[in-house]
Structure formats: C-alpha cells, structure tokens
Amino acid sequence: MGKILGSQAVVKSLLEEGLDTVFGYPGGAVIPLYDSLFDYINEGKIRHVLARHEQAAAHEAQAYAQITGKVGVCIVTSGPGATNAITGIANANMDSVPMVVITGQVGSTFLGTDAFQETDVFGLSMPIAKWSCQITRPGDIADSFAKAFYIAVSGRPGVVVIEITKDALTHETEFHYKKAPVLRSYAPYPEIDQENIAAAAEMINNAKRPLALIGHGVLIARAEKAVREMLEKAGIPFGMTLMGLTALPSDHPLCIGMLGMHGSYASNKLTNEADLIIAIGMRFSDRVTGRLSGYAKKAKVLHIEIDKSEIDKNVETDLAVHADLKTALSYLTPMLEKKSNKQWRAEFDKFYKMEYEQVIRHDTQPGEGIIQPGEPVDIISRKTKGEAIVVTDVGQNQMVAARYYKFKTPNTFLTSGGLGTMGFGLPAAVGAAVAQSQKPVILFTGDGGFQMNEQELGTIIQEHLPVKIVILNNSVLGMVRQWQTMFNGGRHSATNLINPDFVTLAAAYGIKARKVADRAGLDPAIDEMLDLDGPYLLDIEVDKDMKVMPFIAPGSTVDEVKLC
C-alpha cells in the first residue's frame, strides 16, 4: 500500500482494532496524530470526545470500556498531558479495566535533554500499568499497537501506555497489521487443572456453611450467568465486593449484600462462621477482609482466579483454581450437588433485620430532620426500577449509592474501587453516557469530589449527553469528617468546604439545575430530573454529621463490625 506517516499508522492501527470512539486532549507533541484523525472525525468514522482535562479523559475512557466491554482509548500530549493522565491510568489498572493510553513525547533526538514538555512517561507509568512501551520509529507502530490491545484485554485486563515520539509520528513507514500476536512468556489464559476442579467440587459438596464472595472478575469475564447457575444449584449465599456489585441482582434470594468495611452486617458477622469461603474473581482487598489475622479462621478457602499473583497474596488458600472463570465454572457446576442450605441461609436474615432497624430505616426513611444521603438514592432506585447506570465519586456518596441502589442488571455500577479517586465520578458519567443511550446515567457525587473535575460539564454540553448529576451536598469532606469524629475526638481539621452555588454553575454551562433543602421538595425534584430529556444537576443539602454504617474500624476483624 506504499508508505504512510507514522501518525496515519496509529490511526489505521486503531481502526484495525475496531476503534470507533476515542477520548483525549490535544497538545503540541500529538498535533500530527490529531491531524491524521481529522478526516476520520469529520466523516463520522471515529468519534472524538474532547475532555477538559487529561485525567478526566482517562476516566471517561475507563467508563466507556466498562460499559461496552471494548478497550477504552485516550490520547494526551507529552509532559503535563501525560502526567495529568497518570491518576486515570493507575485508577483503571487497579480496577482491571482494559485501556490503551497514547501519549506524545518530544522528538527522539531530544530525549534526555529536559526539552520543553519532556517527561519520562515510560518510567512513570511502568509501575502502575499492565505494560508500557516507547515508540521512537514509525516502523514499530503497527506491531506495538497490536501487542498493546492484546495485552490490555487478555487475561486479567489492564492499562497499556504507548509513548510515541513526535518524529515517529511525522516520518514515513510501511504498514502491515497483525492482530492478537503471540507473545513469548505471556500466557494470559491458564490451562484447566481437572484434578483441582474435582477437588473444588468436593469442597463445595461437603460444606455445611458455604459463603461465596463475588468480585469484579465475574463482570470482567462476563461470567454472571455461569456464576448464578453455580450458586443457585448449590444453594450458596453470596456477598459482592464493591467492584463486584451488579454481577447478580441486589434482590436475589441468595444475596446477603455488599462485603467489607461498609458492607452488610450479616455478611461481615457471619464470614467468620462459614466453613467454606469461595472467592470468585476477587483479590481479598483489605477493605473486604479487615484484620487478616482474624479473617475466616473457621473456613477453608477456595479461590477461583485468573491472575496467579492474587492467589495466596493476602489470604492463604486451601485450594486454588487458577483459570478463566467461565471455563472453570463450565466444568465445576455439573459436578455440584443440588442443595438449599436453608438453615445456614436463615442465619443471615436475623442480622439483616438488626441492620434494617438500626441503620437502613434511618438512612432511607427517617421521616423528619435533615435529609439523609440514603434517601435520594433509595427514591431514585425505586423510580428507575434499578435499571439505571449508576456512577459514583468516592466517599460517603459512594457508599450510600452502593448500599441503597438496588441493581438489576450487570455492568451498571461504575466507581473507583482500588485507588479511591475523588473526581472520578463526573468524567466517568461522561464515558458511560458516550458508551450507550438506552439507560439513564445517574451520578451520585459529593460536593468535594464534584469540584475536582467539574470542568467536564463542558464536555457534557459539547457532546449533548443527558447525564443526571446528584450532588449530596453536606459542605464537608464527609468520609474524612466521619473518621475525624470517630477516631480524632471530633477535631474536624481542614474538612469544611465553602462551595459555589452549584445551580448557578450549571446554568453557566446551559444545564438545568435545582437545589433542594427540605424533604418536601425532594420527590418532585427527582421526578423533574428523571423526566428531562437532557442533562440535569440536582443539588441536595444533606446531613453533614451522617455516618455511613455498618463500619469495620481499621485493625478490627470482620465480625467486630459496628452498627452505630
């Protein structure tokens, strides 16, 4: 086909991988790439979403990837463009989301000279990405991109960072593309060990008090149906990690709620009474386990996981099935005995009733006083019938959304799990809305986190996205304040916020908005928001002294969970 520019080779590589949407922010080092994108954008072959900040572009690409199941792609320039994207790279990689981040770089002859907007992107990103590479020759573009997309999406997904020098974009090369290359020493899909599968089936069949822990890996593998069939056949109660939420419906009769620090009272109290813990596509985060020395001491541990590095990393297993989830369960489920475990399941009910009386009812139906953050979440959950795509920021807003929105379908909850990135919410809502138009996209955010990336209101307007923004506004950094109240004698250091008028701010972007300060106005405001065919910002004044409960204090075991 003759020779083409390196920048054209990048675009053709993206098209070879089926790319139709890219998020980004142009700058000097990537001007040649944007020039090669120009015609494709104008012709509608590639949609380019112009973020207002490079961190936001990465979060938008992550959300797009999670909703669509495709590799998310974002483009940023060298130097500050790349460093701004670092948080988004770390965030997506910790939550195992497939992304390719393309960053510019100064010309290869200027590397190491402290040239204008030069930063060692390869060195910065290598510890926080699945793979990083630097391209200095246009002839390396096709092979590098083929490797990048394959590595990003295969096995345990993650982020690949491609740093391209400016001369690699402006010089010519021949172009030949081969997808999904064979990479020596990289085997993302382990072979099934049939003896381990048989041993796992025996452990489950012999268990009297089994408990399954459902993680994000189930959603990544699109193994929701396979997991459901397994759990229903063996009658195994299950809890879901924060990132595992939506793998199965919140109202499933075997569901005992969210696991961990702010998870359900029942799941935490009875973890240490189980005789078998079945961890499925999860990594035993400290937020799930509490103090490791006191975790699940009466239980054998069966871990089904594709990433070998997670096995025995935090919790020692009695048996590990190192495999792709769908494949493993296709062999395991037929070997399981049909059970109900009715008596064991009934034990969770009494703890749920205690939690409902002491926590849930107050959080969602207090009847009087200041609006509680759980109230709008509960109302919106009922009005949308659990079918919306829910996005959160990080903090109390994140926990009340996770606890009180009743999810019906998979991959409808987007949040920052591993890194806990404030500012994630608004750009992630942008990415979710770009990814689909069938379900409403509702963002629950705090006033603190919202202000970290509020400039993405501009992206919402430019892209005509009907994102519904619910600010749970307590004029404080709520989760930090809660910890200060509980562990620092109520010394609320640097957690009070003086906020702008969010309704006026939204109006400046042409977004309809409303402020609610009393319970009587809550229901009609939510109706107005949901009925509007377009973006909406709802600013709700909520209780600044509210505490998210239940709570496992740092250093405590899961069964030391507190209700108040």
Q: Given 3, 116, 179, 308, which residue is catalytic?
A: 116
Q: How many CB atoms lie within 10 A of CB 544?
A: 19
Distance CA 170, CA 491 (A): 57
Q: Given 70, 147, 166, 468, which residue is catalytic?
A: 166
Distance CA 165, CA 221 (A): 35
Terminal alpha carbon distance of the chain: 70
User: Among this protein's residues, is 408 annotated catalytic?
Assistant: no
User: Among this protein's residues, is 383 annotated catalytic?
Assistant: no
Phi, psi (degrees; rounded to nearest 5) at 285: -60, 155
Q: What is the DSSP string of 125-192?
A: HGGGSSEEEEE-SGGGHHHHHHHHHHHHHSSS--EEEEEEEHHHHHSEEE----SS---TT---SPPP
Distance CA 101, CA 69 (A): 16
Phi, psi (degrees; rounded to nearest 5) at 300: -80, 155
Q: Given 230, 422, 479, 529, which residue is catalytic?
A: 479
Strands lying side by side in the sheet with 47-50? 47-50, 21-24, 72-76, 99-105, 159-165, 131-135
Peptide bond into 550 cis (omega under 30): yes
User: Among this protein's residues, is 468 annotated catalytic?
Assistant: no
Q: Given 54, 118, 375, 454, which residue is catalytic?
A: 54
- Tell me the two tokens of residue 18: 């089926």
Distance CA 454, CA 422 (A): 12
Distance CA 220, CA 233 (A): 23
User: Among this protein's residues, is 117 annotated catalytic?
Assistant: yes
User: Among this protein's residues, is 54 annotated catalytic?
Assistant: yes
Phi, psi (degrees; rounded to nearest 5) at 189: -120, 100
Catalytic residues: 54, 116-117, 166, 479
